[in-house]
Amino acid sequence: MGFKQIDLILPPDFSDAMMRSEVAKVLGISEFTCQIVSQSLDARKKSFVHWLVRVGVCSEHLSGDAEIPKPSLKIPYKKRKQKVLVLGSGPAGFFSAYVLQLAGFNTVLVERGSMVDLRARQIAQFEDKGVFHPQGNYAFGEGGAGTFSDGKLTSRSKHISAERRFIAETYIAAGAPKEIAWLAHPHIGSDNLQKVVAALRLEYQNLGGTILFETRIEDIQAEGRNIVEAYTASGAIKSNIFVLAPGHSAYETYRMLMKRGVAFRLKNFAIGSRAEHRQELINKAQWGVERLPGVKAAEYRLASSGKTNQPVYTFCMCPGGVVVPSTAYALSNTVNGMSFYPRDGRFANAACVAGVHPTQLAPWIKTPYDALLWLEQLEQSYFAFSGKYAAPSCTIADFLKGKSRGRLPESSFPLGLVDAPLWSMMPKAVVDALRFGLTEFNLKVKGYSEGVLIGLESKTSSPVQVIRDSSGLCEGFDNLYLVGEGSGYAGGIMSSAADGIKAAIAIIAAY
Ligand SMILES: Cc1cc2nc3c(=O)[nH]c(=O)nc-3n(C[C@H](O)[C@H](O)[C@H](O)COP(=O)(O)OP(=O)(O)OC[C@H]3O[C@@H](n4cnc5c(N)ncnc54)[C@H](O)[C@@H]3O)c2cc1C
């Protein structure tokens, strides 16, 4: 049996039959099996938008090439006596616990938020009636921040090929769409993610893993270089190894860790707003047409280095999606974006942020503790502006002019927009950089300034980073790992999950 990989150019709405007929034509064979290896949309020429598809073909009529071995994760099983406590059921915490359980450890996953079904109802109640639930919101609850998201699995992290494949295969086995294995820009969709997260929990429990919901780790206790116990409202939990994956929204958890001697440093991060546009405007700008059969909705990614060398960029774009109230705490306002698998909503949104170092934001910011306090206060000031969970917003045109016309366009944001001078609600360095970047974006995407900026977008990355090694082991400790987005080394579902897996693999090797 021979194997060959070939590259095909196929129309936006190609079918399996069309792909097979192209394979037959290119290779001159009629009996074969084939599978897509990778697929990306090429929209550089608006008159010729097409898919670039790499196909792996197996046939007795082919000679030569052997199938290229795929990177895979080695998880050696043996019954182990050590107990591992994992904090947080987001991608980093879940995958860490799952891999450790597969390897034979005795793991307990502790999650402050609710199970996914209840969490979905709590979020719906927040969006319908403005009743905020501290245990069930866009940041906290089963599956972490990634559950009610677009479920984009893109990541620029290097050296995670084996982890990436393991994560995609685990998601597919739990019900995620199969094409996430080969699409250049894979996404699961919030509707699918909720089912996937519940299926993964059952799989983890079937392996013998324990999961505790609505249980917050409030403190930890060290003896020398080892953590021995974690405290929750219902009592202490002893463990041999502690893997913490709290995400970057859990302010009190960060403070507790700082108090207990876990060392952090300041790092660059980004703040700004969500930019929202009509999806048809983005489709037209990217493809030259408002609809393209076979492709769900156009994406974009924009970047500008800025006059002051302060980067401005779009991030986490959600085609056909919704801007959501993603605050983790009451009386605070942050926004983020999500979409369902069909990506068929009327709006497109993306974070539009300026990169900053925390010390640029206020003269009193000297330590990681200060940076988190500043950020928390900024998030609260957005709530204070509207006095409710409606989001302070202005059009991009008004932001550029620094003058409000008092008119806001229709939006997907469920809790309403409030006209606000966003240019005076963020530090001047951020506003200046954003103005420069938005002016450039308007030249790149026709009609970009027609969009609306919805605040506050403060969660693209963390302003602090723990001091740890590449496996996540914290400086000064022998059994404490801090992983995922909260560690300051990962961002997004894929890289956070991979970071959690790397810690698990290091623990397997060490014990
Ligand atoms: C609305 C939204 C949309 C997003 N869309 C995307 C996307 O499309 N693609 C993408 O790659 N990324 C997306 N992100 C970002 C992505 O979700 C995060 O990067 C990722 O979830 C980080 O994973 P994590 O496991 O490190 O942390 P998290 O997912 O934040 O999980 C941390 C978990 O720890 C729990 N926890 C915190 N403190 C404690 C404590 N003291 N005790 C017990 N439990 C605790 C929290 O409840 C939470 O469940 C989105 C985020 C949001 C909010």
* Number of domains forming the structure of the chain: 3
Residues 38 and 115 in one domain: no
- Residue 107 maps to a domain: yes
Claim to verify: residue 442 and residue 327 sit in the same structural domain: yes
- Asked if residue 144 belongs to a domain, the reply is yes
Q: Which atom of ligand 1 is nearest to the CA of 216?
A: 42
Residue 502 DSSP symbol: H
Mutate to test the pocket of ligand 1, among 99, 112, 274 (most ligand atoms within 8 A of CB): 112
Do 384 and 241 sit in the same domain of this protein? no
Which DSSP symbol is given to 276?
Answer: E
How much is the pLDDT for 267?
97
- Cβ of 167 less than 6 Å from ligand 1: no
Determine contact, residues 420/402, Cβ cutoff 8 Å: no
Q: Is 6 exposed, middle or buried (0-12, 13-18, 19+ CB in 10 A)?
A: middle
H helix runs in 81-209, sequence order = 91-102, 116-129, 161-173, 190-206
472 is a domain residue: yes
Give yes or no: residues 40 and 91 share one domain: no
Q: What values do phi and psi take at 317, rounded to 5?
A: -70, 135
> Which range among 258-262, 303-307, 393-397, 495-499 shows the weakest confidence by mean pLDDT?
303-307
Q: Is 69 domain-assigned?
A: no
* Cβ within 8 Å of residue 466, ≥6 positions away: 257, 262, 263, 264, 474, 482, 487, 488, 489
In this prediction, residue 1 carries a pLDDT of 82
Distance from the alpha carbon of residue 507 to the mean position of ligand 1, in angstroms: 22
Q: Which spans in 225-302 are helix H?
A: 251-259, 279-287
* 108, 88: one domain: yes
CATH assignment of the domain containing 173: 3.50.50.60
**Preceding peptide of 415 cis, ω within 30°:** no
Q: If you measure from the C-alpha of residue 248 to the centroid of ligand 1, how many angstroms do you get, rounded to a whole number? A: 7
Q: For residue 486, which atom of ligand 1 is closest to its CA? A: 26
Q: Please check the confidence at residue 308 and state whether its pLDDT lies above 70.
A: no
For residue 426, the Cα-to-chain-centroid distance in whole angstroms is: 24
Same domain, 498 and 400: no
Q: Is the CB of 326 under 6 A from ligand 1?
A: yes
| pLDDT tens readout for residues 77-121 | 999 999 999 999 999 999 999 999 999 999 999 999 999 999 999
282 and 194 in a common domain:
no
| 397 CB burial (10 A radius; 0-12, 13-18, 19+) | middle
92 lines ligand 1 (CB under 6 A): yes
Domain end, chosen from 23, 44, 59, is at 59
Q: Is 491 near ligand 1, meaning CB less than 6 Å away?
A: yes
Give yes or no for residue 146 CB within 6 A of ligand 1. Answer: yes
Does 65 reside within a domain? no
Q: What's the average model confidence in pLDDT over 305-309?
A: 70
Predicted pLDDT of residue 69: 74
- Tell me whether residue 367 is in a domain: yes
Statement to judge: residues 233 and 160 lie in one domain: yes
- Tens digits of per-residue pLDDT, 322-360? 999 999 999 999 999 999 999 999 999 999 999 999 999
What is the overall mean pLDDT for the chain?
Answer: 96
Structure tokens, 495: 């890289």
User: pLDDT of 247-286, one tens digit each?
Assistant: 999 999 999 999 999 999 999 999 999 999 999 999 999 9
Q: Are 34 and 23 in contact (CB under 8 A)?
A: yes
Q: Residue 434: which domain range?
A: 268-457
CA distance linking residue 277 with residue 396, whole number of Å: 10
**Protein residue with its CA nearest to atom 35 in ligand 1:** 88
Alpha-carbon distances of 295 from 30, 319, 326, 447, rounded to whole Å: 29, 11, 28, 21
112-160 pLDDT, tens digit each? 999 999 999 999 999 999 999 999 999 999 999 989 999 999 988 888 9
Tens of pLDDT, residue by residue over 161-191, are 999 999 999 999 999 999 999 999 999 999 9
Domain-located, residue 313: yes
Residues 306 and 447 in one domain: yes
pLDDT attached to residue 310: 86
**Per-residue pLDDT at 63 exceeds 90:** no
241 strand-pairing partners: 84
Q: Is any atom of ligand 1 closer than 6 Å to the C-beta of 324? A: yes
Distance between CA atoms of 33 and 36, rounded to whole angstroms? 11
Same domain, 440 and 499: no
Does 219 reside within a domain?
yes
Q: Is 351 in the pocket of ligand 1 (CB under 6 A)?
A: no
Whole-number pLDDT of residue 144? 98
- The reply to whether 97 and 237 lie within a common domain is yes
Same domain, 47 and 179: no
